[in-house]
Amino acid sequence: MRHRRNDAANSPWPMLIALVASVPAFYDSMMPTPATWATWMYLVSGAVLLASAWRVQRNLHHGTHEPSRSHSGHWGEHPMQLKLDWFLGAALLANAVLPQSNESEPALIWRLVIAVLMLYRLLKISQPHFTETGLARLLAIGAAVLVLCGIGFYWLDPGVKTVHDGLWLAFSTAATVGYGDMVPTSTASRIFAVFVVLLGYGLLSLVTASVAAMFVGSQERKVEREILRDMHKEMQSLRQEIDKLRHEMRANGSTCAPSDPAAPQRDAPPDA
Together in a domain, 121 and 11: yes
Is 214 a domain residue?
yes
Confidence (pLDDT) at 154: 93
Q: Which of 23, 235, 237, 211 is nearest to 114 (CA)?
A: 23
Confidence (pLDDT) at 217: 67
Together in a domain, 118 and 137: no
Please give the single-letter amino acid code of residue 71.
H
Together in a domain, 137 and 126: no
Together in a domain, 94 and 43: yes
Together in a domain, 139 and 239: yes
Say how many residues make up the chain: 272
Out of 83, 98, 131, pick the residue that ends a domain.
131
Confidence (pLDDT) at 59: 80
Confidence (pLDDT) at 113: 92
Is 190 a domain residue?
yes
Confidence (pLDDT) at 169: 92
Number of structural domains, the chain?
2
Together in a domain, 106 and 223: no
Write out the residue range of the structural domain in which residue 35 sits: 1-131
Q: Which of 238, 160, 162 is nearest to 193 (CA)?
A: 160
CB 198 within 8 A of CB 40: no
Confidence (pLDDT) at 69: 42
Is 265 a domain residue?
no
A 10 A CB-CB count for 56 gives 22
Together in a domain, 67 and 137: no
Is 199 a domain residue?
yes
Together in a domain, 66 and 153: no
Confidence (pLDDT) at 119: 85
Residue ranges of the chain with per-residue pLDDT less than 70: 1-11, 63-78, 128-134, 217-220, 255-272
CB 153 within 8 A of CB 204: no
CB 46 within 8 A of CB 92: yes
Out of 99, 131, 163, pick the residue that ends a domain.
131
Together in a domain, 182 and 82: no
Phi, psi (deg, nearest 5) at residue 253: -65, -35
Together in a domain, 118 and 173: no
Is 264 a domain residue?
no
Is 267 a domain residue?
no
Question: Residue 231 maps to which CATH number?
Answer: 1.10.287.70
Together in a domain, 11 and 116: yes
Is 266 a domain residue?
no
How wide is the angle at C-alpha 132 spanned by C-alphas 129 and 134, nearest 5°?
100
Out of 131, 164, 195, pick the residue that ends a domain.
131
Together in a domain, 124 and 28: yes
Is 262 a domain residue?
no
Confidence (pLDDT) at 142: 82
